[in-house]
Structure 1
């Protein structure tokens, strides 16, 4: 009898803290696919900040929470081991929402084959949630124009790094906000950003002013924190603010105060919050938009890979401690 492991959510986090006792590992017999189904052996699994929200019992969120006792939700890449589905063959590499599990059964819905030449790392770092989110937020709501100035927080993260590279490829001046000098060096010297702000050590107002001589047209927000006040005050009239994430508040006892409404009114700013589940049906069009940038070598990425399903919890905590350097993946 062949067995496999999966990790389920058994408790809700308290005060935004992620601990091992929230989860349980169970072993089960590897299932057999039924009619129209396929069996996938997952090889790489993505860890994302949104998981903390998925674990919380928030019934008014953009996506239902993971129910207690269910396998923890995540996207991943795997290989088809058995198939009774006409569109998938044994050996196909596929990507989709598989969860914290070594094996998964699928009926093929929202499951995409990896094209030849696309590695598992590239699939999860670029063509999965990071690239889809960056492309959707930037073009649907940021509406960038050549010659404008864009600033992105969490600029060395999986989403922020792609946002900045897309904008730079489109002829914008791009400034990134990061949490270390190493990350600042990476986004400038490797990704081609025009400047970087270390929110932990720089004089935020002075550095922002020096790096944005023409002020700011597009603000892509991933983190929250005090710098957002300075950025809003530095926006041009009719600027666009795309609110994608607020990782600084996810574990905070009390959410930080938002920007003052007066500059928003005076500058007639457009502020749009968004989440990818609203755009699942647009994925083919989003990938069509993103793919040429990748094919032309304009999108670089780096993966931070940890080994073993059993290390998923400690890996997830790395995201909120800022210890990861690149898209965080688990290799199974």
Structure 2
């Protein structure tokens, strides 16, 4: 009987780089779809910063941690190769939570068909978690208004780049925080951001003051780190801070203290964290908001492709180093 590959999580992060020592690559006999099920051959798998949190043992997080000895969690895209489900046919391209596996058996729950004509990279870069997360956080929580100023961290990443482009299309002044000059050039020259800050080399306070002369109305936080305190000082009255990710602190045993809360009172600032599992029921609505921007050519993206399932075991480190250039995707 032919076999396929799965990758199991076997160790928790310990402050060292993510690598094969934390996983087990296993071979299993090829599965079959049972009654009411589909068999999916995964072709493209998404790597996302949230996965670093899922690997930790935090029982109080928004989603249970990946249990040791089980398939590592991820979303992905693939082709239905066997179907006993009335809503799916062999040959359908579907997207959903797949995990680190070449084949997945599912009852169809959580999987959606990919629109004809949308290729895998576009689907995972825009219409999967990145675009949904950007739309939920910016539109539903950030409530952007034309003429306001938005600062987004991780601005060249899969979520941050979409946040900035939607905000620009809505008439906001958009400033992106990135980790190198190439990314700064990309978001300003290609995506149309009004300015960029390199958090590794720029004088953060001075650069923020220069680029946000009227203060900051919407702060979309993807990374944490030293820039956070400086943006907080620039927030205007009634500003909204959307907390989506904190990659700088995910593996930090002693995260830095937060800002003084007195300005929250004085300026009536709203700070709200969110996680997409709370909003999966809203996916059709979010896609309805996002799709017109895409159809009008207002959303550009770039993807960073890794080859082979096992590349995921080291590929996650690119989030810490900033080495990824766009949406991180594993091509199986």
Same fold (TM over 0.5): yes
Q: Which runs of 4+ in 1 moved over 4 A?
A: none
Q: Is the 1:54–1:65 contact (alpha carbons within 8 Å) kept by the matching residues of 2?
A: yes
Q: Give, in angstroms, the shift of residue 262 of structure 1.
A: 2.5
Q: Distance in 2 between matches of 1:19 and 1:43?
A: 22
Q: Tell me the equivalent position of 2:319.
A: 319
Q: Encode CA deviations 1:60-90: one digit per residue, 9 max, x unaligned.
A: 1100111111110000000111111111111
Say whether the 8 Å CA contact 1:16–1:252 is kept in structure 2.
no
Asked whether the equivalents of residues 16 and 250 of structure 1 are also in contact (C-alpha less than 8 Å), the reply is no
Shift of 1:264: 2.1
TM-score (normalizing by structure 2): 0.98
Aligned pair count?
332
CA deviations on 1:243-267 (whole Å, 9 max, x unpaired) are: 1000011122320222222322221
Q: Deviations over 1:128-160 (max 9, x none)?
A: 110110000001110000110100000000100
Q: Distance in 2 between matches of 1:320 and 1:202?
A: 19
Could you tell me which residue of structure 2 aligns to residue 147 of structure 1?
Answer: 147
CA contact (8 A) 1:3 1:29 kept: yes
Aligned pairs (5 A) from 1:1-332: 1-15=1-15, 17-332=17-332
Q: Secondary structure at the match of 1:110?
A: coil
Give the CA RMSD over aligned residues.
1.0
Q: CA–CA distance in 1 between the matches of 2:23 and 2:327?
A: 23
How far 1:217 sits from its partner (Å)? 0.4
Cα separation, 1, equivalents of 2:114 and 2:273? 30
SS in 2 for 1:255: coil
- Stretches of structure 1 that go unaligned for 5 or more consecutive residues are none
For 1:228 and 1:22, the matched residues in 2 are separated by 31
- Give the Cα separation in 2 of the matches to 1:264 and 1:227: 18
Q: Is the 8 A contact 1:232 1:264 kept in 2?
A: no
> Contact 1:150/1:174 (CA < 8 Å) preserved in 2?
yes
Q: Is the 8 A contact 1:134 1:159 kept in 2?
A: yes
Q: How far 1:117 sits from its partner (Å)? A: 1.3
Unmatched 5+ stretches in structure 2:
none
User: Whole-Å Cα distance in 1 between the matches of residues 238 and 254 of structure 2?
Assistant: 30
Q: Give the whole-Å Cα distance in 2 for the aligned partners of 1:186 and 1:226.
A: 22
Query: How far has the Cα of 1:15 moved from its partner?
Result: 3.1
Question: How far, CA to CA, are the matches of 1:9 and 1:314 in structure 2?
Answer: 13
Post-superposition offset of 1:16:
6.5
Looking at structure 1, the residues matched to 264 and 229 of structure 2 have their Cα atoms a distance apart, in angstroms, of 11
Kept after mapping to 2: 8 A contact 1:76/1:95 = yes
Q: Secondary structure at the match of 2:316?
A: helix
1:306-330, CA deviations, whole angstroms, 9 ceiling, x for partnerless residues? 1001111111111111110001010
Query: SS where residue 282 of structure 1 aligns?
Result: helix
State the alpha-carbon separation in 2 of the partners of residues 155 and 258 from structure 1.
22
SS of structure 2 residue aligned to 1:45: strand
